[in-house]
A and B are shown apart, each in its own frame.
Chain A
Amino acid sequence: MPRRIFVTGMGIITGIGNGLSETKDSLFHLRTGISKPRFLKTNLKDEVLVSEVKYSLEESFLLANIPFTEGYSRNALLGIIAAKQAYIDARIKDFPGMRTGLISATTVGGMDRCELYYEDFLSNDSKNIYIDSYDCADSTEKIADILEIKDHITTISTACSSSANSIQLGARLIRNGDLDRVIAGGTETLTKFHLNGFNALKILDKEPCKPFDEHRNGINLGEGAAYLVLESENSIKISGNQVICELTGWGNSCEAFHQTASSPDGIGAYLAMKKALDMSGLKEPDIDYINAHGTGTDNNDVSEGRAIERLFGSEVPPVSSTKPYTGHTTSAAGATEAIISILCLTEHVIWPNLNFSEQMKELHFAPVKELIKNKKINTVMSNSFGFGGNDTSLIFSRVHKT
């Protein structure tokens, strides 16, 4: 009997709020984080919509409870804020003897400072302290140092599925007996670098994004950070932590089709979902809700939609993308949306797919349009499908009190 993996802590900061309480409130009140860029100084400010964390760099220091220090990227700060929340939520400090890992994920790393200071890096020594903060490991090590986690730390970068992969790796390390508990997730802050990059790919929507809509036009980028605490059963016996839910399945597959596109039938997406389902021991009808990757691009939504239909046949469960709320938080999306999916379990709700009006011709299902409250939800599936075809699906289940 493989070790069971339980979620005992969560931390999140996105365009729809800092912390679980604010996040829940925004979700219930259909309040989006998407607007014109206000914090990122960009030439694209009148051409794109984004979902920004509504705090400046200086305010982020306050939220992270760190005195202003040179060498910190906004990316690291968002990560620290969310990871700390999860750490406190799971009372990690109270039980120091247990083997604890930190698996984080990011793709931009410290680019938010690096792109401002690159000219200095080339010509003078005034910004040297930011040079080493450029890479992906920097935010992870800053989080590890503040939370005093040392037993196992690493960083994953698989584009939009990055932090979902953090979660599956954390689970596997616990299941293998290497660790007792893991803080797993990711952080991604908006940068001119990737905003312009996505813009060059012509997949940004000038309007609020409309996942799974026949007239969708692309992505609104978002930013944020989110972490789960995963614990083994043994660890919970010691910590006495309340179980939020159980991570019952995960699946990682590769589209292997094209660097920036999924295949028309979404083989990678299908395999990731199927692997997760097979691992969980559950069957298709057991999935009560799918939090789709649903970016709003032509390509993803048809690919993912077909993959869902292939797996679930004519019995597709309620599906929605919550990216119209948070934007596409790229490397943080996996963990952010895992938490949003878990909130469906804890709040007995299905979040709507905002901005939807017309069903896609290619699909036989439409996403959930309205908020559905007082819904019996026992199992949710959360999808994250990234550029490069890195596809990961996670399944979370309610734990019934015996």
Chain B
Amino acid sequence: MPAYINGIGMISPQKTVETNGFLTEIMDYDAEYLSCIEPSNYKLYIDPIQSRRMNRLIKMGIASAKLCLEESGCTMPDAIITGTGLGSVEDTEKILGTIHLEQPFLNPTPFMQSTYNTISSQIAIQLKCHNYNSTYVHRTFSFESSLQDALLQIVEGTANDVLAGGIDEMTLNHLAITRRLGHWKTTPVNNLQLLNWNTPGSMAGEGAGYFLFSTKKQPSSYARILDVKCLYKPVNMDEIKHQITRMLAVSGLTVSNIDLLLLGLNGDNRNDLVYSDFANCIFQDAPLAYYKHLCGEYHTASAFALWLTANILKEQKIPELIRVNEKSREPVRHILIYNQYYNVNHSFILVSSV
């Protein structure tokens, strides 16, 4: 069952919104973390009286959803599905900051907006959409779970157009807390140098990406999404190889059909070993690329990867600065996105040109 990507709204640390052209200008940062370049004027997307009461994450979610729908021409999706690893970190922190004193909350708004399903729900309210609505909250499976649900809706025949997205934000507080676990580089680095350090830790990021998946092919179609697979704690590379081979076979493909392997390399030298193994064991001849130097590391970074993939397939252009090796294939017909988190959560998104 084909599922075309007919529209995308992507807010990221790169110029991906209110811009002309595909990564024509690359943002490089010497920073603690990569934070989003947000729309200049949310009034274009949300009534100002409403948006005044919304937190940043909800605004980014609604704006990217609306941009996506506008591009696709779909005004009422049959389903709205969101993946988020942490939801509104900002609002959660507002409450946690004083919870030990347990003073009465004067304002219930941060509590309401800290709930994970608020983004899917607020998008539905904006559209007055009574159709299927859900939210997935499972670390680096969050966006993939929303994709799987979207594809399932299409296969089941219950939906022709599904709006699905991945969204997460970062804050300085959360960065400081997670730094204790060694997730991040210990000093600010330049994002474009992310893979050069050969040290532990990555660089945090954030983003909001919504996609319109449709049974209908149309001029605005970027690409086709073929399959999504999540592997939890695979025992070894053999198991991964077995699962990937099967995943490709279901779509009538083999390893040699993959024209680009887009990897979630994140600059953490412990984490990145898994990708080297993967490429060496299974995809020895494939052109390799990465994306987290552009968007940072966060639970739903694969949404940015999908945005990148869709644009590469549509434009038939691979930005030089994402390449990891010298190999190249033209035309680019099949891209496999591979992300993994501490060798626990492995996920694959298989995408083809239209």
A residues whose Cβ falls under 8 Å from a Cβ of B: 42-44, 106-107, 109, 114-116, 118-119, 121-122, 125, 128, 131-132, 135-137, 140-141, 144-145, 150, 152-159, 165, 169, 172-173, 175-176, 192-194, 196-197, 199-201, 252-260, 267-268, 271, 386-390
Contacts and interface: CB of A to CB of B under 8 A. Distances in A.
Given A156-B136, A173-B152, A260 B112 contact: yes
A254 B137 contact: no
A135 B137 contact: yes
Contacts of B120: 158, 388, 390
A176 B227 CA distance: 14
Contacts of B156: 172, 175-176
Given A157-B116, A388-B121, A256 B127 contact: yes
Contact of B137 (A118, A132, A136): A136
B86 interface: yes
B55 to A, nearest CB: 11
B323 interface: no
A391 to B, nearest CB: 9
Interface residues of B, number: 58
Contacts of B197: none
Given A150-B231, A200-B108, A259-B122, 10 more contacts: A43-B102, A122-B177, A137-B138, A154-B136, A155-B137, A157-B115, A158-B117, A197-B111, A254-B129, A256-B130
A157 B117 contact: yes
A157 B133 CA distance: 11
Contacts of A153: 138, 141, 230, 232
B181 interface: yes
Contacts of A193: 95-96, 99, 111
Given A136-B116, A196-B105, A158 B134 contact: yes
Contacts of B108: 197, 200-201, 260
Given A158-B133, A254-B80, A119 B138 contact: no
A247 to B, nearest CB: 15
B111 A194 contact: yes
B314 interface: no
Given A144-B232, A154-B138, A387-B115, A255 B99 contact: no
A396 to B, nearest CB: 20
Given A122-B173, A253-B132, A390-B134, A259 B125 contact: yes
Contact of B128 (A135, A155, A256, A259): A256
Contacts of A387: 112, 115, 117, 121
B281 interface: no
A42 B102 contact: yes
Given A150-B233, A387-B115, A268 B177 contact: no
Contacts of A128: 180-181
B266 interface: no
B234 to A, nearest CB: 8
Given A155-B136, A268-B130, A131 B181 contact: yes
Interface in B37-92: 80, 85-87
A157 B137 contact: yes
A251 B342 CA distance: 36
Contacts of A200: 104-108, 111
B145 interface: yes
Interface of B: 80, 85-87, 95-97, 99-100, 102, 104-108, 111-118, 120-122, 124-125, 127-139, 141, 145, 149, 152, 155-156, 173, 176-178, 180-181, 230-233, 344
A162 B108 CA distance: 21
Given A173-B152, A200-B107, A256 B124 contact: yes
A234 to B, nearest CB: 19
A132 B104 CA distance: 27
B130 A107 contact: no
Tell which of B86, B136, B155 has the most Cβ of chain A within 10 Å.
Answer: B136
Contact of B100 (A118, A176, A258, A389): A118
A196 B233 CA distance: 37
21 contacts: A118-B96, A131-B181, A135-B85, A141-B232, A150-B232, A152-B230, A154-B141, A169-B134, A176-B152, A192-B102, A196-B95, A196-B105, A197-B95, A197-B111, A199-B105, A201-B108, A256-B121, A256-B128, A259-B122, A267-B130, A388-B118
B259 to A, nearest CB: 27
A268 B87 CA distance: 24
A109 B84 CA distance: 13
A258 B109 CA distance: 12
B133 A252 contact: yes
A141 B230 CA distance: 14
A47 B86 CA distance: 31
A115 B96 contact: yes
A150 B230 CA distance: 10
B138 A254 contact: no
Given A122-B177, A192-B99, A256-B129, A176 B124 contact: no
A79 to B, nearest CB: 14
B155 A176 contact: yes
A124 to B, nearest CB: 9
Given A119-B100, A192-B99, A131 B180 contact: yes
Contacts of B177: 121-122, 131
A293 to B, nearest CB: 16
Contacts of A165: 134
Contact of A389 (B116, B133, B173, B232): B133
Among B96, B104, B114, B120, the one with the most A-chain Cβ atoms within 10 Å of its Cβ is B96
Contacts of A176: 152, 155-156
B107 A254 contact: no
Contacts of A158: 117, 120, 133-135
